[in-house]
Amino acid sequence: MKKIFYLYLFFCVFNLNAQITQEYIFAKYESKIDSLIRKIMEDDKFYERLGYLCDVFGHRLSGSENLERALDWLYSEMKKDGLQNVAKDSVWVPHWVRQEEKCELIFPMQKKIPVMAYGGSISTPKEGIEADVLVVSSFEELKEKASLAKGKIVVYNVPFVSYSQAVPFRFRGAINAAEVGAVASLARSVTPQNNSLHTGMMIYNDDVNKIPHGTLNSEDAELLHRLQNRGITPRLRLTLLNETLPDFLSWNLRGELVGLEHPNEFIALGGHIDSWDVGTGAHDDACGCVATWAAVKYIKNAGLRPRRTLRIVMWANEENGVRGGKAYRDQHSHLPHSLMFELDAGCFRPSKIGFSGPDTIFSIVKFFEPLLQKIDSISVVRGGGGVDIDPMVRTGVPAMSLWTESEGNYFRYHHSEWDTFDKIVAQDFKKCIAAIAVAMYLYADLPVDYLSFIKQASH
């Protein structure tokens, strides 16, 4: 009987899907999409709102007053926009505070070396740490030279080729250095940008001694390496003073455009509202929050009421804990979600919509391409996802994300003082809004039984 039921369900869904063709979508939606894109590209309101968010509230590290003030303002603005069910969902977030950072080369010469602690790092003693340096280019080299590392400051001089290649030295560099007896560790900034410090999350292992961990720029990492290669052992005096306070009560912020036919079926879209405590988090990820908010607002302004509910979410604490994404899963996974969407790639020129989920749904989303290409040369590809939406995606909900083409600039700005509003190009930002609005409206309005596809795939 169970097999007969699922066979029946399959044919019902298959027949419905057969009606959704590229021609159907183009004929039914082209005029609406043309009007929607035009209104978005002609309006600077949300570009100005993004500037206000970045310039007035500044960085928004979890636990900071800046983040809470920004959330209060965003809550008020969403209400003014006439969004429905605007609400704050409580999230307990980490509260790490940067205090004092300095480093000096004291042998073979005296030279100030700019440093920055990684988020979550413990402090050095108040008077700092003075120690010789061991420079390595890989974890393998560190292991080979383990006998030389005891009592030293390990410096990882790893040039940036890609984020995935370089970030492990930031993320677990302190663990590996402590395992061989180092008293502190520093990693070359995870960026192609010269003379630039970039922070980010690092971790400890409770089974390994915890040591201070921070970053230095490429020029100083290279200098220390050259000295070592000449047979000279550099010596540093390093001070990193930070404080980890008790967890802080913060919020995920959400607001909705309630669906006309399936108000209790949700498409959640957004970005993370927290940022690191340097720069103002313009590309990472204020623009993702404001662009998704804008997309829903423009759909609403155009008088378009999709079948399903579009729910904007600004997630807290992506940068150092993903507490917002996990809290959203814990608080809302009992509700039917047909899609989770995230923009956390900066608001450069939109290039791709990535989708992860059942093949049948992907084939429908692929039909969006001709309408998306009215904005720019945007393709629909496999592979959507994001850190904030991942907890919900792991419950079986499909994922979608917007990819952008930064021409290498994203990681020049990422987690640094460079990530400020002046780096946002208005035309690119509005194209991102338009791409999100088109994809979300089509997905939310099509007469497709997404939930049945998702249920089938789970079996």
The residue behind tokens 């609005």 is: 437
The C-alpha atoms of residue 247 and residue 308 are separated, in whole angstroms, by 36
The C-alpha atoms of residue 122 and residue 175 are separated, in whole angstroms, by 12
Dihedral angle, C-alpha 383, 387, 393, 395, nearest 10 °: 150
Paired sense of beta strands 213-216 and 235-257, if any: unpaired
Active-site choice (77, 318, 319, 342):
318
The C-alpha atoms of residue 160 and residue 154 are separated, in whole angstroms, by 18
Whether 318 is catalytic: yes
* H or E element at residue 177: helix 173-179
CA dist list (Å): 228 to 72, 109, 170, 194 = 52, 14, 22, 21
Paired sense of beta strands 349-356 and 235-257, if any: unpaired
List the beta bridge partners of residue 216.
Answer: 115, 188
DSSP string, 67-123: HHHHHHHHHHHHHHTT-EEEEEEEEEEEEEEEEEEEEEEEESS-EE--EEEPBTPPP
Tell me 378's DSSP state. Answer: -
The C-alpha atoms of residue 428 and residue 404 are separated, in whole angstroms, by 9
The C-alpha atoms of residue 215 and residue 119 are separated, in whole angstroms, by 11
* H or E element at residue 2: helix 2-18
Judge whether 274 and 67 are in contact, CB under 8 Å: yes
Closest CA to 93 of 318, 333, 330: 318
Closest CA to 296 of 230, 344, 343: 343
Tell me 286's DSSP state. Answer: I
Q: Tell me the catalytic residues.
A: 318
